[in-house]
Structure 1
Amino acid sequence: MFYAILLMMVAAFLALRLYSVLGKRSGEPLARPAEERVGPKPVARTVDVTPEVRDVQPRPIDSGAEGGIRAIVGAEPGFDVTQFVDGAQAAYRMILEAFWKGDREALRALTTEDVYASFDEAIAARETDGLTLDNRLVSIERAVIADASLAGREARIAVRFDADIAAVTRDAEGNVVAGSTDDAVETHDLWTFARTLKTGDPNWRLADTDDA
């Protein structure tokens, strides 16, 4: 019974944490660790957006995402694109670190059922092989909204992350079997976050992952 109560407390904390990075509305400050403040960098090309989109963000989006963002802003006027991108970076770090540590409870609170199932399967395979990941997210160089859509009340926003990750795999004895502790590898991920608008749940959850 005590363990069940403890898990409920952990899940509640994680949901509150995710709300703090993805669920806040415009005008509320978002605290971010100092190491994350390297991103996002501006998109290289100028994006000519309509006034209603320009009012809520300083163009951290690709041109192909404008229509979807416009629809989301129209359905939920308090939506803030820049703050969402900031929160997406924090969620990117939280989810990666939870996966590397094999923290299933954290992943369950931050992802949809399908994504969680994929993470759980990968963690189980790693455990069977006696492997652990000693990875570190060195920096997020850029985070840009690559696509956005609204179907009914279901909003989906895809964010492209360009990051540097130091990746090391160790065996059961702690020996390095892959990767390097000295070199960071450039990674390019496309993560899609989803949320049902106009409900009591303000949290965006990771709904899909792919290589950018």
Structure 2
Amino acid sequence: MPEESGGSVIGWLMYAFVVYWIAASWRAHLSRLEVTEDVLKRRAGVTDTQSSASPEGRSVAHDHDALLSEIVCREPVASIDEFLANILKRYETIIAALNAGDREVLLGLVSPEVYRAFEQVIADREAAGLRVETLFARIETPEIIDGTVDATHMEVSVRFIGEAFNVCRNAAGELTEERPAARRSVDIWTFARKLTPPGSKWCLVATRSGI
């Protein structure tokens, strides 16, 4: 009888040890899985907060703010408003040069690809004996909608929204439209410049309609 009792105790202890060992092994396995998943997320640059923010794991607003900060840091301006004021002047200068058919000014402000497109517009107007003048009634504050910055290059896409009168005259100086109406325009222009050498100017490299 005592031998049977001792055998039962030993059997129970062995059973308890096996159960404990299985439970401990399973907990260790789960812990390793959690650590591995966390390491993979960190290697991929993803956190729990980021993964719920956007499919790319990064906030678009944060990227935009970072872009604006980079522009201010790399430009000789005190604020992004000052930068946009300079870009607006360049926009108006380019439009004025295009309307005046001033090829020399355009060559210093736009890329070769954009220049070819603008030069064709000028040539077509000259062939038709037309002169165009753009009179802005209103221009909203430009808005940076996209851009990239690296060690050697900056590029920004800016949206310009305004209302303007396009006054067109024929070879005799007569208006082709008796009462020109103000037209709303939405343009997205992409400007780029090299960071080296210092002092490189912004150049218009692409244009498209914003509508």
Into which bin does the TM-score normalised by the smaller protein fall?
0.5 to 0.7
Root-mean-square deviation (CA), in Å?
2.4
Q: Which residue pairs with 1:140 in the alignment?
A: 139
Alignment of 1:1-212 (within 5 A): 63=61, 65-72=64-71, 76=74, 80-178=79-177, 180-181=179-180, 183-212=181-210
Q: Which has the higher contact order (CA 8 A, sep 6+)?
A: 1
Which of these two proteins has the greater Rg computed from alpha carbons?
2
The answer on whether the counterparts of 1:71 and 1:149 sit within 8 Å (CA) in structure 2 is no
Report the CA distance between 1:77 and its aligned residue: 7.3
Q: Deviations over 1:36-70 (max 9, x none)?
A: xxxxxxxxxxxxxxxxxxxxxxxxxx946335445
Report the CA distance between 1:206 and its aligned residue: 1.1
Moved more, 163-172 or 64-73: 64-73
Separation in 2 of the partners of 1:184 and 1:177?
A: 15
Report the CA distance between 1:190 and its aligned residue: 0.6
Residues 176, 147 of structure 1: alpha-carbon distance in 2 compared, 3 angstrom cutoff: same
Residues 69, 91 of structure 1: alpha-carbon distance in 2 compared, 3 angstrom cutoff: same
In the superposition, the TM-score normalised over structure 2's length comes to 0.62
> Aligned to 2:142, what secondary structure does the other structure show?
strand
> Aligned to 2:141, what secondary structure does the other structure show?
strand
- The aligned amino acid for 1:207 is V
Q: Which residue pairs with 1:24 in the alignment?
A: none
- The aligned amino acid for 2:176 is V
Task: Return 5+ residue gaps in structure 1 as ranges.
Answer: 1-61
Separation in 1 of the partners of 2:147 and 2:64?
A: 5
The answer on whether the counterparts of 1:115 and 1:206 sit within 8 Å (CA) in structure 2 is yes
Separation in 2 of the partners of 1:193 and 1:179?
A: 36
> Aligned to 1:96, what secondary structure does the other structure show?
helix
In the superposition, the TM-score normalised over structure 1's length comes to 0.62
- The aligned amino acid for 1:95 is I
Task: Return 5+ residue gaps in structure 2 as ranges.
Answer: 1-59
